[in-house]
Structure 1
Amino acid sequence: MTEIENPKTLEEQRRFVEQALQQAETFRKKKKYKEGIELLVDALQYDLEKAKIYFRLGNIYFDGDDLARAEYAYKRALDTDSFYVNAMHNLSLVYKKQKKMSQYIKTYKKSQKMAIRHPQKSELSEDQKKATRRLARNIFLFGVAVIGVIILIVYLVLR
């Protein structure tokens, strides 16, 4: 990670937090939990993307079998963003692993309802946006053509 030493501007802080989130995920996959935790705790001081940071902390603690801290981190993510579906789902998995079945079921159901009511925003690439616009245009033109054919048929029949 190309670290920004003591990021001062808001843009530098955002870049630092984004890099910290990415690097922490890499550390988690390599089972370097301590490094990932330290990096995310450092990122918390900037008060940016707190829900994501706590969520990633929860993932690291969960993978490291520190379920009490994982539970705390997921709850903090939900305190920051009460509609964070993934945090709610992962909290239910913590309860399941802790054998707190009633809390697991309650939290899992809540995460499923939350996923329906508050779907995640998806970021489309420029190519995906172009393809979506092209598809929408083709569907619109097809609909206009069908309506035109129906009007033509009605005109010819009633003539």
Structure 2
Amino acid sequence: MSNVIFLDVDGVLNSKFWDNDHQREISNGKYIDSEAVKLLGSLVKRTNAKIILHSGWRFWFDETMKPLRTEADFLANTMKEAGITIAGVTPDLTTEEIRKTRKFSLVKADEILLWLKDNPSANWVVLDDLELHNSEIEKHQVKTDAEVGLTTKDVEKAITILLGN
């Protein structure tokens, strides 16, 4: 069994604050804050955890985790530079209505729990800026602030959840 980080992207690896100062990068499909990715890299290294993408961004990768869009390619390359790879994705329980309204938070908890049922893991943490409406998930979630994205404090909290320190 291994340590697992369930990763959301928007509001974790980018933020409203970062978006405001990086409009040119965004127009080129570069929606990722490389400093947040470096923080994620330190979390992965310190916990020896694998990344499972539970973000809507998972639809931008094929089944072999090959990027299908410019944004996903940039994410994968930025993560690679930080020594991180995406090990997999959560199952898709979305409906047409959820995809249309972008209310992914309604099924994210169930997707994570289903993944865990199929892949028992010793310790796990969820990095997401959204309320996921599930008490079991809540105990394992580091809820990032979408205004600023992943912070050092968030990483320390995630380490405590994963390693019990």
Smaller-chain TM-score range? under 0.3
User: What is the TM-score of this pair, normalised by structure 2?
Assistant: 0.27
- What TM-score do the two structures reach when normalised by structure 1? 0.27
Which structure's residues are more often strand, by fraction?
2
Q: Work out which structure has the larger RCO, using CA pairs closer than 8 Å and 6 or more positions apart in sequence.
A: 2
Which of the pair is proportionally richer in helix?
1
Q: Which has the larger radius of gyration?
A: 1
